[in-house]
Structure 1
Amino acid sequence: MDSLITAAALELAAGDPFGALNRVALRNDAPALALRGIAMAQLGDLARAKALMRSAARAFGSKEAVARARCVVAEAEIALVSRDLGWPAKALEAARATLEAHGDSVNAAHARYLEVRHLLLIGHLDEAECKLAERDPPRLPPALQAARELLVAGIAIRRLRTKAARGALASAGRAARQAGIPALISEVENASLALNTPSARLLVRGEERPLLLEEVEALLASKALVVDACRHVVRDAGTVIPLVRRPVLFALARMLGEAWPGDVSRDTLVARAFRARHADESHRARLRVEVGRLRAMLGPLADVSATRHGFALVPHRAREVVVLMRPVEEKHAAVLALLADGESWSSSALALALGTSQRTVQRALDALAEAGKIQSFGHGPARRWMTPPMPGFTTTLLLPAPFPGG
């Protein structure tokens, strides 16, 4: 490798893409193409970066397996940043295997971290945790140490392990400062905001207040009966009753939780749960059936008692009933939560991350765009959607990942 390539690589590692481009911008050999691709990625021109990395992979000969594998890893990282979640994961896995086989343990670890980031984005926490637990090289560069600790923090935040998340973010901050890369330092600082801004709202006895992530963790470990409108479950510290696939039952449970210790009239329950303007005998009959189903589902935790005017929630063990709500109530909150990271997403990537159909996501995007909450650029398959981060709160509780026991 000649001196210009070596110098450009060192400048890229230090986060100086302009310095690297000054050395290799006019060269079209394979190493220069690869470095130019990385530089363009650091500058945010992801489409150009992707094209350059593919050209570099083709330019490397068949005998240069390690160089080709590194190009695949770089292209995978570009795809991840551009939220192309449909990028072939097997190609990255094969590249990682090649790097490991040739003793390039550092770049192999980087490839594995990219796999973990992909799993984290689509909410596969168990797989992400297992892959991250694989053995690392004895000495990782500071930048990779920071990347690993960010992943540890991301998993811990979604698992509601705030102490572990704070420790990982502190380690990531130290490693990022040691690496001296401003963009990495900024990424750690942005990740830390999730622990220092409200993550949810709490409603208890008619009073509402915001909660930090640590407070949410403490609430779920308390003796309170929690009607969790973030994950659509009813729970206490030891039992979780999922109602994600029973929207009517959850709507009834939430209304009863909001009214506790009082009751909710039958007419109100009918109007809100069944979206009926006027309650007739058929609605009342259906309400009796649904309340019976809810009573059976909540049996381990509470009873649904009939009162003179309607129904009330009566917990068996808990001393109080609270409702945990999203920081912002929005019909398409899950889509907004993903877009709020400031990156540009395709509708197919959003559908993959949310585990729903692309058509459903597209309807949500159209509604949000019409309301002026998001914007798009590009056309056809290249169309991307984005929105600036929403200030004042974190969207952690809206992301596609379950609470512990959820």
Structure 2
Amino acid sequence: MDSLITAAARALAAGEPLAALKRVALRDDAPALALRGLAMAQLGDLARARELLRAATRAFGPKEPVARARCQVAEAEIALVLRDLGRPMQMLDTARTMLEAHGDRTNAAHAGYLDARRLLLIGRLDQAERMLDGLDTDALPPTSRAGYWLVAAGIAMRRIRTQPAKAAIDQAARAARETGIPSLAVEVDRASQALAAPAARLTGRNGEQLLPLAEVEAVLASDALIVDACRNAVRAGPTVIPLVSRPVLFALARVLAEAWPGDAARETLLIRAFGARHADESHRARLRVEIGRLRVAIRPLAGLTATKRGFALEPRDAGSVAILLPPEEDDHAEVLALLADGEAWSSSALALALGVSSRTVQRALDALAEGGKVESFGRGRACRWIARKEPGFPTSLLLPAPTITG
């Protein structure tokens, strides 16, 4: 490798893309194209960076598999920023295997870290954690080490584990300081702010209050019966009954919790669960059926008693009942939660992250756009969506998380 290429690589490692470009801007050989692509990525011109990296991959050719794999890893990192979770990310595992086979520990570890970020993004927390655990952290470059700890913090926040999240953010801050790269420090600071920001509203007999993640964790660990509208579940202590796939039952549980220790009128239950403004006998029959299903579903935690007016919730072991809500409720809160990271998302990437169809996501985006909460740019497959203004909640409680079971 010649001296200009070496100097440009050192400049990029130090976060100085302009210094790198001064050395290789006029060169079109494969190593120079790769370094120019990395420099443009650091400067924020991701489209041009992707073009240069693809040109470098072609220029290296099949006789230089390690160099090609490094370019593919860099392209995957750009794809991750662009929320393009398709082909570039699919090449990542192959590139990592190639790098490991040829003894490139540093870039192989970086590829694993990128895959962990992708898995966190789409809510595969167990897989992301296994990927982190299997990484050779000593081989990670300093910039990737900061990102490694941010991924660990993200996993802990989505699992509502405050102390591990704080410890990981502290480690990320230490690694970011060692690099001296301002953008990394900003990313760590953003994660720290999310940890301290209001994460939920708690409503109960004592009124309503905003809670940071640490207090949410304390509430969920208490013996209170919690109707969790952030995760659509009913829970008390370690026992969790998910109702994500049963929205009618969750709506009934929420109304009953709002009325506790009193009872909820049948008319209120019909309106809130079924939207039935003028109930007839068929609505009342359906209510009886759904109440029966709810009684069976939440039997480990509470009973349901019929009253003259309607039904009442009776916790078995809990001393109180409370409802956990997002700081601001929206019918499409999960989509807003993903867009709150400030990046531009495609509808297909949002669908993958949320585990729903692209059509479902598109309907949500159209509704949010009508309300002035999101906006789009580009057309066709190049269309991307961003949040027009920051939602009033961090993402940790509303982003995809593992299915919770009792």
TM-score exceeds 0.5: yes
Displacement after TM superposition at 1:62 (Å): 2.2
- String of CA shifts for 1:307-349, please: whole Å, max 9, x gaps: 2211111100000011111121101111111111110001110
Displacement after TM superposition at 1:293 (Å): 1.3
- Residue 83, structure 1, aligned to residue 75, structure 2: no
2:236 corresponds in structure 1 to 236
1:378 corresponds in structure 2 to 378
CA distance in 2, matches of 1:217, 1:277: 38
2:200 corresponds in structure 1 to 200
2:329 corresponds in structure 1 to 329
CA contact (8 A) 2:340 2:391 kept: no
| Amino acid across the alignment from 1:383 | C
Q: Secondary structure at the match of 2:62?
A: coil
Displacement after TM superposition at 1:137 (Å): 5.0
Question: TM-score, normalised on structure 1?
Answer: 0.97
CA contact (8 A) 2:220 2:237 kept: yes
Displacement after TM superposition at 1:80 (Å): 0.4
CA distance in 2, matches of 1:359, 1:61: 40
CA distance in 1, matches of 2:10, 2:391: 36
CA distance in 2, matches of 1:56, 1:11: 19
Displacement after TM superposition at 1:358 (Å): 0.6
Question: TM-score, normalised on structure 2?
Answer: 0.97
CA contact (8 A) 2:201 2:325 kept: yes
2:23 corresponds in structure 1 to 23
CA contact (8 A) 2:252 2:269 kept: yes
Displacement after TM superposition at 1:142 (Å): 2.2
1:303 corresponds in structure 2 to 303
1:43 corresponds in structure 2 to 43
CA contact (8 A) 1:304 1:313 kept: yes
Q: Is the alpha carbon distance of 1:260 and 1:307 closer, same or farther for their aligned partners in structure 2, counting shifts above 3 Å?
A: same
1:361 corresponds in structure 2 to 361
CA distance in 2, matches of 1:38, 1:89: 17
CA contact (8 A) 1:341 1:388 kept: no
Q: Secondary structure at the match of 2:73?
A: helix
Displacement after TM superposition at 1:144 (Å): 2.2
- Residue 266, structure 1, aligned to residue 266, structure 2: yes
CA distance in 1, matches of 2:220, 2:246: 22
| Amino acid across the alignment from 1:295 | R
- Residue 348, structure 1, aligned to residue 341, structure 2: no
Q: Secondary structure at the match of 1:402?
A: coil
1:14 corresponds in structure 2 to 14
CA contact (8 A) 2:372 2:388 kept: no
Please tell me the root mean square deviation across aligned C-alpha atoms, in Å.
1.5
CA distance in 2, matches of 1:187, 1:7: 27
- String of CA shifts for 1:91-126, please: whole Å, max 9, x gaps: 211111111111110110000011111111110111
1:162 corresponds in structure 2 to 162
CA distance in 2, matches of 1:96, 1:402: 26
1:401 corresponds in structure 2 to 401
CA contact (8 A) 2:80 2:89 kept: no
- Residue 223, structure 1, aligned to residue 223, structure 2: yes
- String of CA shifts for 1:250-303, please: whole Å, max 9, x gaps: 100001111211211111111111101112222222211211111111111101
CA distance in 1, matches of 2:246, 2:77: 38
CA contact (8 A) 2:149 2:172 kept: yes
Alignment of 1:85-104 (within 5 A): 85-104=85-104
CA distance in 2, matches of 1:19, 1:79: 24
CA distance in 2, matches of 1:92, 1:281: 58
Unaligned runs of 5+ in 1: none
Displacement after TM superposition at 1:162 (Å): 0.9
Taking only the aligned residue pairs, the percentage that are identical comes to: 66
Q: Secondary structure at the match of 1:398?
A: coil
CA distance in 2, matches of 1:331, 1:137: 41
Q: Secondary structure at the match of 2:397?
A: helix
CA distance in 2, matches of 1:99, 1:120: 23
Displacement after TM superposition at 1:393 (Å): 3.2
Moved more, 60-69 or 75-84: 60-69
Q: Secondary structure at the match of 1:303?
A: strand
Moved more, 88-97 or 3-12: 88-97
Aligned length: 406
